[in-house]
Structure 1
């Protein structure tokens, strides 16, 4: 696959999680989260998003979000559970994207805030319509998704390289 191939990055924040007495990494989804995650999966399917690869944080809430969302897709992509996504900084997230094989055209990342919002904001050098202000106003709530496109190698992913082409929240 050429490094000039159009690529797509989908950033999905985990669905609503419990604030319980368990360790943060082990927090499960709330009832609302269990309802929102499949809705996010249906949006992905309707939008024609068919990831070649999904990187998912190892936290319970991200794994549960992905498990519920992926059942709504026409085909299950390869999924890698990545410890480094949990509590990842913007720099760490960019480094993970840079490690992606150029055989991957569409990448879905299931992670946490503030990282997912920061990454979407950092990558979006351009945006369709009013998507950027809409994303800023919403604050990237639970189960929100940003879809960005760019051309080039994953090794070249950096600030401003992408175009925000879709932004969705369960309240849309």
Structure 2
């Protein structure tokens, strides 16, 4: 694959989690989250998005979100559970994306706010229609998805390189 090929990064915020006695890292999904996570997978499948690689935070709620989302895709992508996605800053998220192999065309990150929203906003130098306004007004709720396209190598991903081409929330 050429480094100048069009690429897609899909950002999925974990579904709604319970507030429990568990540590933050081990919080499970709430009932609503267990309903919304498969809906996110159905939306991805319906949009024709099948990532080549999924990077998922190691937190229980992100792993459970991905476990419920992935079976709805026509093909399950290679999945890597990445500790650095938990509580990652914007800079840390960009660093993880920059490490992606150029063999990957479509990358999906399953992570947390405020990072997922910050990354979607930072990468989106342009947007289709009112998507950027809609995304920023909504605050990127749980189980939301943002799809950003760009041309070039993953190493070139930085602020403003992409175009927000889709945004979805389960409450829509």
Structure 1 residue ranges (4+ consecutive) displaced by more than 6 angstroms after TM superposition: none
Normalising by structure 1, report the TM-score.
1.00
Q: Distance in 1 between matches of 2:51 and 2:37?
A: 17
Residue in 2 that maps onto 1:163: 163
1:100-132 CA distance string (max 9 Å, x none): 000000000000000000000000000000000
Residue in 2 that maps onto 1:71: 71
1:135 partnered with 2:124: no
Q: Distance in 1 between matches of 2:144 and 2:76?
A: 20
Q: Distance in 1 between matches of 2:13 and 2:64?
A: 12
1:40-64 CA distance string (max 9 Å, x none): 0000000000100000000000000
Residue in 2 that maps onto 1:125: 125
Structure 2, unaligned stretches of length 5 or more?
Answer: none
Partner SS, residue 51 of structure 2? coil
Q: Distance in 2 between matches of 1:108 and 1:143?
A: 13
Normalising by structure 2, report the TM-score.
1.00
Q: Distance in 1 between matches of 2:132 and 2:44?
A: 19
Structure 1, unaligned stretches of length 5 or more?
Answer: none
Residue in 1 that maps onto 2:59: 59
Q: Distance in 2 between matches of 1:30 and 1:19?
A: 8
When the two chains are superposed, the root-mean-square deviation of aligned CA atoms in Å is 0.3
Deviation at 1:15, TM superposition (A): 0.1
